Amino acid sequence: MACYDQGMNSRALVVASLLLTSCYKDKPRTEVPPSNGVPPATARVDYSATIADPLGFLPVDSELVLGVDVDQVKKSMFWPPLAARISQAGGPALTTFQQVCGFDPMQTIRAMSLGIKTLGQKTPDGVLVVHGVDRGALMACMEKGAQSGGKTQIENGLVTVRSDDGSTVAFAFVDASTIVGVVGPSASAAQLKAVLAAGSPLRSSPAFAELVAKTNLEASGWMVMNGSSSVFDQMAQAVGSRPKAAFGSVSVLSGVAMDLHLRLDTPAQAQQLSTMANQQAGMARSMFTRLDITTENADVVVALAMTDQQLTSILQMAGVSLATP
């Protein structure tokens, strides 16, 4: 059991969180006290409105916000190889998690959202929301780790897991199947409490709200990256100016359909980049069902669609295989 507690459960939790990879429509359920008889701190608060918001709990200072509808991804050609690679990445830790905890999180997780900041750091800080994890099963497993006197602590329903390298994951259930967690160098139970109390702070940002209004949050996956992201520092030279934002969505239910916006300083810059991209696209358009590169004010807009067969051919040309490893 010591081996399980001193590293396995934190790695397995991260793997499960990445499966954090819609579903944000969970209805509130009756809170049931854990086996130790102490009601979780979250039982005293009704989080149903925040849970129903795809931006719920995510920090207002996030550099990158994304969401994944795992239910949709599971219906696509991507899921078998992706599931195999996740299992491979989890390795013995995920196997032990399944054996000790008695369930496979890959089979239950339905959707996720994530807000990340300090992307320039080796280990960014983030808040994640995962839908589709059975609270009773996971908390029972975490209690095993806490009782062994290792690196897992549970206090009023808040779970803190410390790994051997000093990193921390803190999480809590906000209903019977939804986890909110904080990860990164600054992760702590105190930080998690602040996140839970904040509601949907991203809704208070007019600039972010404007980007979200143009993003399809019902797609298989979506993302919004604001102007503070360090990722744009690396793009400045290639694009000709530092982008102000990027946002878009992708659907994988029938082939792949993507809508991506890259916002620049001026409409003139957007037109210049669009013209250059269209010149480079050339004959590549024949490989897609649709590939349109246009402008919308200061945004360069890429609308792309391809069938599963077209995607497979493109990936094969790039040396990428979707075959199960």
- Whether residue 179 sits in one domain with residue 32: yes
Domain enclosing residue 73, as ranges: 2-201
- Whether residue 95 sits in one domain with residue 114: yes
What is the per-residue pLDDT for 325? 54
For the cut 70, the answer to whether the pLDDT of residue 273 exceeds it is yes
What are the DSSP calls for 181-220, one per residue?
EEEETT--HHHHHHHHHH--GGGG-HHHHHHHHTS-TTSS
The H-assigned helical ranges of 184-324 are: 189-198, 206-213, 231-239, 267-281, 308-317
What are the DSSP calls for 106-169, one per residue?
HHH--EEEEEEE-TTSSS-EEEEEEE---HHHHHHHHHHHHHTTSSEEEETTEEEEE-TTS-EE
Q: What is the mean pLDDT of residues 274-278?
A: 93
3-class SS at 170? strand
- Whether residue 182 sits in one domain with residue 99: yes
pLDDT tens-digit readout, 85-135: 877 776 777 777 777 788 887 888 999 999 998 887 778 889 999 999 999
**Is residue 325 one of the residues assigned to a domain?**
no
- Whether residue 138 sits in one domain with residue 103: yes
State the average pLDDT for the chain.
82
pLDDT tens-digit readout, 140-150: 888 877 777 66
Which is more confidently placed, 106 or 249?
Answer: 249
**Is residue 109 one of the residues assigned to a domain?**
yes
Which is more confidently placed, 81 or 16?
Answer: 81
**Is residue 188 one of the residues assigned to a domain?**
yes
What is the per-residue pLDDT for 202? 92
- Whether residue 301 sits in one domain with residue 268: yes
* pTM attached to this predicted model: 0.81
- Whether residue 214 sits in one domain with residue 197: no
Order the strands of the 152-155 sheet from edge to edge: 152-155, 158-162, 168-173, 178-184, 125-131, 111-117, 64-69, 221-225, 245-251, 256-263, 299-306, 290-296
For the cut 70, the answer to whether the pLDDT of residue 165 exceeds it is no
Which of 172, 201, 230 is where one domain is finished? 201
What is the per-residue pLDDT for 303? 97
Nearest CA to 105 out of 77, 137, 73 is that of: 137
3-class SS at 100? helix
pLDDT band, very low/low/confident/very high, at 323 (cuts 50, 70, 90): low
Number of domains in the chain: 2
